[in-house]
Structure 1
Amino acid sequence: MAALPTRFYTPVFALFMSCMMSLLMSALVTFMNTGIDAGFPQRWLHAFGAAWVVAFPLVSFIAPLAHRLTRLLVRSKVD
């Protein structure tokens, strides 16, 4: 598998992070609001789609800030 150039790190990270978080959080919120029944998968996928459309641009915008804040709080070398 060919690796992408480093400049694609942030958008690829945002794609994976937003997808995984939207998938998991929409499942949890759908379960909490409606429980699990025969219609759960359809409600979950609908909620996931709505959440991911919002999450991807937000994570794309916020990820660089989160990386900078993390670098401020986490040491790069052991003292």
Structure 2
Amino acid sequence: MSDLSLEQAIQELEQIVVQLEQGELPLEQALEQFEKAVRLSRVSQQKLQQAEQKVSQLLQQQNGEELTSFAADGAEEDES
């Protein structure tokens, strides 16, 4: 599963969500799909973290800049 691209993992996750939302799967299949979704989510998170680390390294090498979290930026706007 780790050989999937981020886009492929997200697409599979979206398909699983649609299937689960329809509520037509038998319980056993729904559980299997849910387990698969959890694995896909973990793989996606790892790929995003790897990409963030790579961008951070490239920025530091070129400009000495650091990445800031989107959550931190959004939290500051909410407090205003």
What TM-score comes out, normalization by structure 1 length?
0.39
Task: Select the structure of larger CA radius of gyration.
Answer: 2
What TM-score comes out, normalization by structure 2 length?
0.39
Higher relative contact order (CA 8 A, sep 6+): 1
